[in-house]
Amino acid sequence: MSFNPNLTYFVERLQGVSTNTFRLESQNRTTALQNDIISFSLPSNAILNLRSFKVWCNANCNAGSPTAGARLPPISDLVERIEVSVGGIILSQGTNFSNVLQEAMKALSYEDCDSVTGHPEYVREISYVNGEGDNLVGGPLDATANESYADNGNLQLFCIDKFPGFLATADPKLLDTSILPDITVRLYMATNNLLTTSQDVGVGDAAAIAGPPPIKQGFAAVGGTGNGGYELTNISATIEAIGMADMTYDQMISAQMAQQGFLEIPYKAYTTFQESHTGASRFTVSTQSLDRVWVAWRVTAPNTQVAPVIVNGYKKQGAFIQGAYQTNAAAASGAAAGTSLDLGLPQYDLGGVFTTNSEKYKSAYFNFVQPPVTPNTNMKMQLQLNGAYMPQFSANLGQLYGMTRNSIMGAREAKNMSFDQYVNNYCVQCFRLNLPDAEYSRSICGLDTRAVNLQGVVKTDNVINLPTINIFTEQTETLRVGPGRSIEVIS
pLDDT bucket at 295, cuts 50 / 70 / 90: very high
**Which one, of 176, 182, 171, lies nearest residue 249 by Cα?**
176
Give the residue, 141 or 382, on which the prediction is more confident. 382
Looking at residue 322, its pLDDT comes to 65
pLDDT bucket at 404, cuts 50 / 70 / 90: very high
Give the residue, 153 or 443, on which the prediction is more confident. 443
Looking at residue 139, its pLDDT comes to 45
pLDDT bucket at 304, cuts 50 / 70 / 90: confident
Looking at residue 308, its pLDDT comes to 86
Q: What is the mean pLDDT of the chain?
A: 85
Q: How far apart are CA 418 and CA 435, in angstroms?
A: 28
Looking at residue 359, its pLDDT comes to 87
Q: How far apart are CA 416 and CA 449, in angstroms?
A: 35
In tens, the pLDDT along 31-87 reads 999 999 999 999 998 999 999 999 999 999 989 888 888 999 999 999 999 999 998
pLDDT bucket at 345, cuts 50 / 70 / 90: confident
Amino acid of residue 82: I
Q: Above pLDDT 90, what percent of the chain?
A: 49
In tens, the pLDDT along 100-123 reads 999 999 999 866 788 999 999 988
Q: Fill in the DSSP letter of residue 191.
A: P
In our burial notation (b when 16+ CB lie closer than 10 A, e otherwise), range 227-240 reads: bbbbbbebbbbebb
The beta strand positions in 245-340, using DSSP E, are 263-276, 280-285, 290-298, 309-310, 320-321
Looking at residue 150, its pLDDT comes to 77
434 near 443, Cβ under 8 Å? Answer: yes
Looking at residue 325, its pLDDT comes to 46
Strand, coil or helix: 398: helix
**Which one, of 273, 186, 266, 167, lies nearest residue 475 by Cα?**
266
Strand, coil or helix: 461: strand
Residue 369's alpha-carbon distances to 377, 419, 425, 426, 474, in angstroms, are 16, 12, 5, 7, 22
Q: How far apart are CA 246 and CA 267, in angstroms?
A: 28
In tens, the pLDDT along 414-441 reads 788 999 999 999 999 999 999 988 888 8
Q: How far apart are CA 37 and CA 187, in angstroms?
A: 6
Looking at residue 80, its pLDDT comes to 95
289 near 454, Cβ under 8 Å? Answer: no
Amino acid of residue 144: T
**Which one, of 321, 322, 310, lies nearest residue 346 by Cα?**
310
Looking at residue 24, its pLDDT comes to 96
**Which one, of 491, 470, 443, lies nearest residue 166 by Cα?**
491
Looking at residue 214, its pLDDT comes to 53
Beta-strand relationship, 79-86 and 280-285 = unpaired
pLDDT bucket at 329, cuts 50 / 70 / 90: very low
Question: Is this model's pTM higher than 0.75 or not?
Answer: yes
Looking at residue 135, its pLDDT comes to 46
Q: Is the pLDDT of residue 276 over 80?
A: yes
Q: Above pLDDT 70, what percent of the chain?
A: 86
Task: Provide the H-helix boundaries in 163-269.
Answer: 166-169, 206-210, 248-260
